[in-house]
Structure 1
Amino acid sequence: MATVEELKLRVRELENELIKCKQKQSAAEDAQSQELHRPKIDKMSAEVVDSNPYSRLMALKRMGIVDDYELLLFDYDKVELANMNRLFFQPHQAGLSKVEAAEHTLRNINPDVSFETHNYNITTMENFTHFMERISQGGLEDGKPVDLVLSCVDNFEARMAINTACNELGQIWMESGVSENAVSGHIQLIIPGETACFACAPPLVVAANIDEKTLKREGVCAASLPTTMGVVAGILVQNVLKYLLKFGTVSYYLGYNAMQDFFPTMAMKANPQCNDRYCRKQQEEYKKKEAERPKVEVVEVEEEVVHEDNEWGIELVSEVSDAELQAASGSVPDLPEGITVAYTIPAESPASGETVEETEQSLEELMAQMRKL
């Protein structure tokens, strides 16, 4: 009778055979789809025709556009049926690695894109070293770094690995995430030394010194709402385009609360006491660059008062002096600080202080007396 270990070994062998069968099936389907789909395009065209897949994209040329596109994908997970709600993976891809399944799908959509996939966990020492090497030398030009790193991971350990690599290399990256209840998310642009890195403001699980692996319970998983992920992914990609193509305002931090449709935004400065020593080093480098940058002096220039001319050469001049205007306004009451009156009541007595005696004479008699004077 077979032992438990032998049965487990046989189960793993059968699982591997099943994966190989699915991979062969997927490869055959990809080969078939390649025949059905368009061939590669040698040069992007701006011709406005429905058969040109880049005509709409090239319409943005007035804003500036990149010459080529390339994706480097890192992931160690496999596609499961539970991932079907992502509206990206397909049922026949179950068992494939996520990077492989993603490459197949994306290549079918656009065969002009170059892909490089790595099916491993970036948090291990050996894989982390290779991960850093590809960031620093995996750009479109051989030996040049990538333009930008995008983080779409679902755990703190992987985010910290990306944060450590980018701080050490001085690599700009954008971090994104969706909450466990699937109704909120955020994106964040991280410029080493200039903005707060992911370690500058650690979340509660780090501040409380809790191992996030212990937070997962058997039979319990985080919620996953494709609409929330779609909104966050769209905001992230839009921010990437604005950063790479240099148009619009790039967000440093933008949140999304699906319950209230609330989009908070902010900018966070780097923490001088950050636990990441490479972050502190990048902060010092940034301070030196800012000190060496030429200072722009702001000179205040008084605007010349320009009187509008008119065809008659008439100039309006007030005939009332400031003192006369103040006297006519009357006294100002003593009010608390910050409160002023809208207007004042003029004094009742004449300015000369003289009084007029009452008389019983009629108006005609008074006018006759004035004529004799």
Structure 2
Amino acid sequence: MATVEELKLRIRELENELIKSKQKQSDAEHHLRPKIDQMSAEVVDSNPYSRLMALKRMGIVQDYEKIRSYAVAVVGVGGVGSVTAEMLTRCGIGKLLLFDYDKVELANMNRLFFQPHQAGLSKVEAAEHTLRNINPDVAFETHNYNITTMDNFTHFMNRISHGGLEEGKPVDMVLSCVDNFEARMAINTACNELGQIWMESGVSENAVSGHIQLIIPGETACFACAPPLVVAANIDEKTLKRDGVCAASLPTTMGVVAGLLVQNVLKYLLGFGTVSYYLGYNAMQDFFPSMAMKANPQCDDRHCRQQQDEYKKKEVEQPKQEVVQDEEEVVHEDNEWGIELVSEVSEAELQDASGPVPDLPEGITVAYTIPEKVRPTEL
């Protein structure tokens, strides 16, 4: 006899199939282009992949066709998530899994992607309909629920670990495009437990800054390693929201953050360029700070600590390659006068002139030091 959880799971699957059936009927009415089995680099107006395949011809990407072998989960189909999903669809991603529990509202029309006639539809339903019209070659899977509840979280983890392009295999990347800390923590917990690589993104409440972050469990800092103040202080974020007050939202900022996120995803999956571990964006000064954060050994998430132990074991097992640098001998130019170049400053004098070297964490060095001020009495 099936359990309650299994029955709920079956209901969700049937609802998903019903939505897909409706979408297919609607798609037939809109006369979608036929599916393309294989990407082509042929430069003709009827080829939707010719500009993308040009990256291969120009030596940017070695094998762009691999994009069709990847499955990406997008959690949160709002201002950033919807544009992210559209960009990945236009790039020809193999499969997209969309998670969101919200509905399209007219208040969302200041953002990109959604349209007024979609008001009232669930965001995932509206998104799939639009995206399937853009590129029918992409496989879609939608889930209209809140991932932070107990039952939904279990199902969410199941789809991450078994919802890949080939059913039963994990997805290749999870993208967090949510707008609250509770959902971010849920994604963080799931990915730490599964060892799933993911990217986090966010836009500030004043709409003029944002960021993206690559999180590799055990190797880089997870969201719990260095939580934001609202989480670190154990404040319920629901108490920070008041009736009649909402966060600002600019389609420009969200479009920039979504573009940076998808660019990082493409670089990671297709292996070109430099993948950013953390990249910020400040619209007021057009400032793009970047950095990398190591995992916190005292992280509150036990699965994060376990992943760190696994990562350390793998590092030890890998043979280290010693790089030997040959020191070139200084050769003075011979001259008829027998003159040699000799430093007039001793090592001790040079050390005194350099000033004290601060105690810095491992991996950080100073570009220069400031000499200590000499008191007049010492002159």
User: TM range, normalised to the smaller chain?
Assistant: 0.7 to 0.9
Give deviations 1:161-206, integer Å, cap 9, x for gaps.
Answer: 0000000000000000000111100000000000000000111111
Alignment of 1:68-217 (within 5 A): 71-217=96-242
Q: Which runs of 4+ in 1 moved over 6 A?
A: 1-26, 63-70, 304-345, 354-360
The TM-score with structure 2 as length reference comes to 0.71
8 Å CA contact 1:174–1:190 kept in 2: the answer is yes
Q: Distance in 1 between matches of 2:377 and 2:30?
A: 116
8 Å CA contact 1:74–1:120 kept in 2: the answer is yes
CA pair 143-306 structure 1, distance change in 2 beyond 3 A: farther
SS of the residue corresponding to residue 186 of structure 1 reads strand
CA pair 15-172 structure 1, distance change in 2 beyond 3 A: closer
8 Å CA contact 2:56–2:62 kept in 1: the answer is no
Bigger RCO of structures 1 and 2 (CA < 8 A, at least 6 apart): 2
Shift of 1:143: 1.4
Q: Distance in 2 between matches of 1:25 and 1:172?
A: 36
Q: Percent identity?
A: 91
CA pair 336-81 structure 1, distance change in 2 beyond 3 A: closer
Q: Distance in 2 between matches of 1:47 and 1:53?
A: 10
Q: Distance in 1 between matches of 2:129 and 2:102?
A: 16
Give deviations 1:302-359, integer Å, cap 9, x for gaps.
Answer: 34779999999999999999999999999999999999999999xxxxxxxx999999
Shift of 1:41: 1.5
Q: Distance in 2 between matches of 1:331 and 1:273?
A: 31
Deviates more, 1:57-66 or 1:37-46: 57-66
Bigger-Rg structure (1/2): 1
Q: Distance in 1 between matches of 2:175 and 2:325?
A: 43
8 Å CA contact 1:170–1:192 kept in 2: the answer is yes
Give deviations 1:9-66, integer Å, cap 9, x for gaps.
Answer: 999999999999999997xxxxxx6555522222211111111000011112258999
8 Å CA contact 1:22–1:92 kept in 2: the answer is no
8 Å CA contact 2:5–2:151 kept in 1: the answer is no
- Are 1:218 and 2:243 an aligned pair? yes
CA pair 62-288 structure 1, distance change in 2 beyond 3 A: farther
The alignment of Structure 1 onto Structure 2 pairs a total of residues equal to 347
SS of the residue corresponding to residue 377 of structure 2 reads coil
- Unaligned stretches of 5+ residues in structure 1: 27-32, 346-353, 361-372
CA pair 84-310 structure 1, distance change in 2 beyond 3 A: farther
8 Å CA contact 2:16–2:142 kept in 1: the answer is no
Q: Distance in 1 between matches of 2:250 and 2:373?
A: 88
CA pair 8-206 structure 1, distance change in 2 beyond 3 A: closer
8 Å CA contact 1:160–1:198 kept in 2: the answer is yes
Q: Distance in 2 between matches of 1:355 and 1:338?
A: 28
Deviates more, 1:189-198 or 1:60-69: 60-69
CA pair 79-67 structure 1, distance change in 2 beyond 3 A: farther
Shift of 1:137: 0.9
Q: Distance in 2 between matches of 1:172 and 1:320?
A: 53
- Unaligned stretches of 5+ residues in structure 2: 66-95
SS of the residue corresponding to residue 321 of structure 2 reads coil
Q: Distance in 2 between matches of 1:296 and 1:25?
A: 59
Shift of 1:75: 0.4
Q: What's the C-alpha RMSD, in Å, of the aligned pairs?
A: 11.0
CA pair 48-304 structure 1, distance change in 2 beyond 3 A: farther
Shift of 1:291: 0.9
Shift of 1:87: 2.0
Q: Distance in 2 between matches of 1:41 and 1:359?
A: 84
